[in-house]
Chain A
Amino acid sequence: MNELFLPYLTAGVATPLVVAMMLPSRCEGRGRVTALMAAGFSALCFAVGGGTSGGVEVVDPLIPWLNSGPLTALPLVFYALMTVAVLLMAPKRDADGSFLAGVLILLGGTSLANAAANLGVMTVGWWLTLVPFLAGMFGSRAGMGRAVGFQVVAGVLLTVGVVLLKVSGVDGGLREGGGVALGLLAMATVLRKGVFPLHAGTMQLFERGPLLPAGLLFNGHLGALMVARLELEGLTEAGRMVMDVAGLVALAGALLAAVRAFAERKPRRLLALIAVSQASFILAGLATRNMAGVTGALVHWMVVSAASMGMACVLRAVEVRVADALAPSGPLGLAVRAPRLAVFFLVCGLALIGLPGTLGYCAEDLLFHGALESHPLLGVALPLATALNAVHIMRMYGMLFLGVLPKGVPNVPDVLVRERWALSAFVVFLVACGIVPRLLLATAVPAAETMHAGEEVRSEK
């Protein structure tokens, strides 16, 4: 395996973690700038590391447990950039030193899991992402028992699964992985992603937890990463069956979550259900094991991350302007006062459900073709769930931005300059990559080809 010229991956992973430890708990604007620089530097390291790798798997020269390949090169850069956007978007009341450190630890943990060369290191990264929530770095944990509990159980299942694979005597390899161990890993994935009906933790995290960090935790998509890695490594027949079941559960879960959302009125819970439903497509796409489905899943990964994070950022921005936004009794009519926030929200939402001209359209087109090729009847669940989610996005948009402006909202500022930068980045990414998707596909196709090639070899055997 090739080696990077400089330890870009180590630098990218370590910088946010080191800066997080150095940040004082009380800091004003300088803390935000420091955190932004750390996350930006991390993104730069991953971009240079991924760029110099030439699309093949490369190992870090300093820490050989870190590597970057076709599957993880883009998510590493993307997640770091998304963290930069979240740091920019975080309202003043949230962005104290503890919050900023928590966000940086989330970045460090997710990057570590993405860059992990083996399941053991990935497990460490997985647990690291939970530290800020367990340590209460984003404020009180009151009312978040189930949310934290679900994540801890997912971590425990992952750890036990990895240990079982290790002690089975195959050096952590997956080809001979037992059904039980893989079952535990699949269970951890389902819990982490909050696939319906095990979505209660994610719902609570979104509803009562800190919205922006919750979005970052969710959009690390470590569950999907786990499945993609397992598929990339190659699975036994039993392992494939386990992953097939997980894929079908995700497919059904996507539809059920979309139906469930009809009974929701609180924007945060509605956003959680939409995100859970759309993110389930990633697992379903990976389980198709065909080129279109897997590529669609990998692109959809980026779409869900950017779009749902963009929506969460706008929602948080609305919440700090109008407290009623937590549980509005009627439409808030904010489009009159904050038209730019409204447009950013709408574009992100429509991209999430695949509006033509956005990246979501390409992702869903590929996903649907892949899903229908593998499961002609069950695959119909995907377009159906998307159709329902589109309705929920319009409901949410109507709830927050349309209707009569309440008397209690005399004057709210529209998007601030720093917010505009962050939200513009989300929108430009979703639209520009939608018009010219080849650049992004160029990074996703090699990973899908590797999975597909393994699948074809198995089919021939």
Chain B
Amino acid sequence: MYSEKLLSVLVAVPGVVVLMLSLSWLFGLTLAERTISRVTKAVYALLIVTAVLLVLSLWRGHVDSVTMLAGHWFTVGDYGFDVVLLADRLSVPFALLTVVLVGIVGAFSVRYLHRDPGFFRFFLLLHLFTLGSLLVFLAGSLDLLVAGWELVGITSVLLVGFFQYRRDPVRNALRVFTTYRVADLCILIAIFVAHHSFGAASWAAMFRGTWPEAENLMHGPGATVLAVLLVLAASGKSSQGPFYGWLPRAMEGPTPSSAVFYGAISVHAGAYLLLRAEPLIRSSMVATVVLVVIGLGTAFLGTLVHRTCADAKTSVAYASQTQLGLIFAEIGFGWTTMALVHIGGHAVLRTLQFLRTPSMLRDYHRLHAASGGNLDATGSHYETMLPVSVQHWLYRFALGRGFYDSVVDRFVAAPVLMVAKLLGVFEPEGDPVPEERVEVEKPVTVEVL
């Protein structure tokens, strides 16, 4: 009972904060930076304490998992959407990691974004992201997971386009959003496959036992399709395999959001999904092979491209992708505990690296000076074992970032655009748009409107 209360507090608090901030905005209240800062610090302090208490209550009670039915969101006929929360040995570490790292990034952002016109917007989105992440990690079913999954996606995109007065962030945000939507399609269809083939999409109905000893209860072609769809959905969130191109584009956002999204939490949501569905993936050879190939392929590509990046954040992004690829492969090989430890270490390290990127040159010079000017160049070890022609080819390949954007533009975007234009035969050609009466050059006043 105590654990259940803690579980509901963990999800409800960020939700209430988002609602309060939104309503204050709607009623025209302008919150001072100091107020937002205090609210943020108080909220994350509360969340961290709650998460720690949850860990302690599970540990002291020798309980492997706690499931809580928070209510029925809606029910129609035989179909209902139950809000079921789950705390177990997989979800609690992720939840704890989330509140700690977002809390750190929140505290960092108070100074980093001081006097930025988007200060309020950033913190509203940060709290919304926390709500989404906690829903993903504490969801007791795929249905609820996808709700959090989409909240994480939209907040991520809005933060990529945070500097909305510049053209590139806007363009890249749209690209990231498009990739997300395509990948999210996989998880949506996966939910329907789960309902259609197995009559439920809750973890309890899909697996017997608690993580990591859970057993898969789904078999047959439907299970294979479901497993492959989940692998693809996770690839989208973690920028792997066919969705490999969006992570570097997401670096247009403010550094704290890059840290929390693309170093700490958001990119690991895909790995979380895979860990949760690992018994299902393990039972399907096809899904396992797809997962390992995607993971290792991305890791190889990521480490190549990372070496040719000229800016710090993009370089860290590709390095992050490489590690995520390895995590994917570990899950594919069934090394779940190792993958979980890897995720924890990786999230903490990347958060630190991202937060330090603005002062990376200074750090380097300081380290250089501390070592007496004898800091050796790193890297370029294994490449030298390859023939020179292969080295050149790999260099060009890495410089073109695997030619991913060109391939997508030529073989996906262009055909879709062509079909879209062809479908225009059903519409008349648009005439020139009629002129408006108010001239743009003149200031538009309230009286005119």
A-chain residues with CB within 8 Å of residue B165 when the two chains form the complex: 333, 336, 403-405
A-chain residues with CB within 8 Å of residue B361 when the two chains form the complex: none
- A391 in complex: contacting residue of B26, B181, B192, CB < 8 Å: B181
In chain B, positions 151-189 with a C-beta closer than 8 Å to chain A are 151, 154, 157, 161, 164-167, 170, 173-174, 177-178, 181-182, 184-185, 188-189
| B387 on the A face (CB < 8 A) | no
Known interface pairs A387-B184, A404-B165; A266-B417 also in contact (CB < 8 Å): no
| B438 on the A face (CB < 8 A) | yes
Binds B, one of A41-49, A78-86, A111-119, A360-368: A360-368
A-chain residues with CB within 8 Å of residue B439 when the two chains form the complex: 323
Among A203, A259, A383, A411: residue with most chain B CB under 10 A: A383
A372 near B74 with CB under 8 A, answer no
B170 near A437 with CB under 8 A, answer no
CB-nearest residue of chain A to B177: A394
A-chain residues with CB within 8 Å of residue B448 when the two chains form the complex: 92-93, 320
Chain B proximity of A208: nearest CB distance (Å): 7
In chain B, positions 42-101 with a C-beta closer than 8 Å to chain A are 73-74, 76-79, 81
Chain B proximity of A69: nearest CB distance (Å): 19
B420 near A401 with CB under 8 A, answer no
| B376 on the A face (CB < 8 A) | no
| 0/1 string, A380-422, CB within 8 A of B gives 1 | 1001100110110011001001111100111111001000000
Binds A, one of B210-218, B284-292, B424-432: B424-432
B157 near A372 with CB under 8 A, answer no
Chain B proximity of A441: nearest CB distance (Å): 6
| A7 on the B face (CB < 8 A) | no
B-chain residues with CB within 8 Å of residue A198 when the two chains form the complex: 426
CB-nearest residue of chain B to A449: B77
Among A372, A416, A437, A449: residue with most chain B CB under 10 A: A372
Measured CA separation A256–B423 after assembly (Å) = 8
Which range holds the interface residue count of chain A? Answer: 35 or more
- A409 in complex: contacting residue of B147, B185, B440, CB < 8 Å: B440
| A355 on the B face (CB < 8 A) | yes
In chain A, positions 341-390 with a C-beta closer than 8 Å to chain B are 343, 350, 355-357, 361-362, 365-366, 368-369, 372-373, 376, 379-380, 383-384, 387-388, 390
A261 near B443 with CB under 8 A, answer no
Measured CA separation A247–B148 after assembly (Å) = 31
| A53 on the B face (CB < 8 A) | no
**DSSP majority for the A interface?**
helix
Measured CA separation A427–B25 after assembly (Å) = 13
- B161 in complex: contacting residue of A319, A336, A402, CB < 8 Å: A402
B170 near A207 with CB under 8 A, answer no
| A192 on the B face (CB < 8 A) | no
| B436 on the A face (CB < 8 A) | yes
| A148 on the B face (CB < 8 A) | no
Known interface pairs A259-B419, A323-B439, A405-B165; A362-B74 also in contact (CB < 8 Å): yes
- A384 in complex: contacting residue of B185, B196, B434, B437, CB < 8 Å: B185
Known interface pairs A362-B74, A390-B181; A379-B192 also in contact (CB < 8 Å): yes
Measured CA separation A199–B444 after assembly (Å) = 35
Chain B proximity of A310: nearest CB distance (Å): 14
| B375 on the A face (CB < 8 A) | no
B-chain residues with CB within 8 Å of residue A409 when the two chains form the complex: 440
A404 near B167 with CB under 8 A, answer yes
| A91 on the B face (CB < 8 A) | yes
Chain A proximity of B142: nearest CB distance (Å): 12
Measured CA separation A409–B427 after assembly (Å) = 32
Among B165, B174, B188, B195: residue with most chain A CB under 10 A: B188
| B449 on the A face (CB < 8 A) | yes
A369 near B449 with CB under 8 A, answer no
Chain B proximity of A195: nearest CB distance (Å): 11
Chain A proximity of B245: nearest CB distance (Å): 16
CB-nearest residue of chain B to A407: B441
In chain A, positions 141-180 with a C-beta closer than 8 Å to chain B are 143, 146
A391 near B79 with CB under 8 A, answer no
Among B417, B424, B438: residue with most chain A CB under 10 A: B438
B-chain residues with CB within 8 Å of residue A204 when the two chains form the complex: 428
Chain B proximity of A239: nearest CB distance (Å): 24
| B385 on the A face (CB < 8 A) | no
| B408 on the A face (CB < 8 A) | no
A-chain residues with CB within 8 Å of residue B73 when the two chains form the complex: 362, 437
Chain A proximity of B29: nearest CB distance (Å): 13
A269 near B147 with CB under 8 A, answer no
B430 near A207 with CB under 8 A, answer yes
Known interface pairs A199-B427, A336-B164, A365-B81; A263-B417 also in contact (CB < 8 Å): yes
| B416 on the A face (CB < 8 A) | yes
A-chain residues with CB within 8 Å of residue B77 when the two chains form the complex: 290-292, 295, 448-449, 452
- A323 in complex: contacting residue of B79, B188, B430, B436, CB < 8 Å: B436
Measured CA separation A155–B300 after assembly (Å) = 62
- A146 in complex: contacting residue of B164, B167, B428, CB < 8 Å: B428
A-chain residues with CB within 8 Å of residue B435 when the two chains form the complex: 323
B164 near A92 with CB under 8 A, answer no
B-chain residues with CB within 8 Å of residue A438 when the two chains form the complex: 74
In chain A, positions 318-343 with a C-beta closer than 8 Å to chain B are 319-324, 326-327, 331, 333, 335-336, 343
A-chain residues with CB within 8 Å of residue B420 when the two chains form the complex: 259-263
| A445 on the B face (CB < 8 A) | yes
A413 near B151 with CB under 8 A, answer no
A319 near B436 with CB under 8 A, answer yes
| 0/1 string, B185-227, CB within 8 A of A gives 1 | 1001100100110000000000000000000000000000000
Measured CA separation A221–B26 after assembly (Å) = 30
A266 near B430 with CB under 8 A, answer yes
Q: Beyond the given A320-B448, A437-B73, A445-B76, could you list 14 further A-B residue pairs with CB under 8 A, ordered by the A residue number?
A: A91-B449, A93-B448, A143-B431, A208-B434, A292-B77, A319-B436, A336-B165, A366-B76, A373-B196, A403-B167, A404-B165, A437-B74, A438-B74, A449-B77
Q: What are 30 contact pairs spanning A and B, CB under 8 A?
A: A91-B449, A93-B448, A196-B423, A196-B426, A199-B426, A203-B427, A208-B433, A208-B434, A259-B419, A259-B420, A260-B424, A291-B79, A295-B77, A296-B76, A322-B440, A323-B436, A327-B433, A331-B170, A333-B165, A355-B150, A365-B143, A366-B76, A387-B182, A388-B181, A391-B174, A394-B173, A403-B167, A411-B443, A424-B26, A427-B26
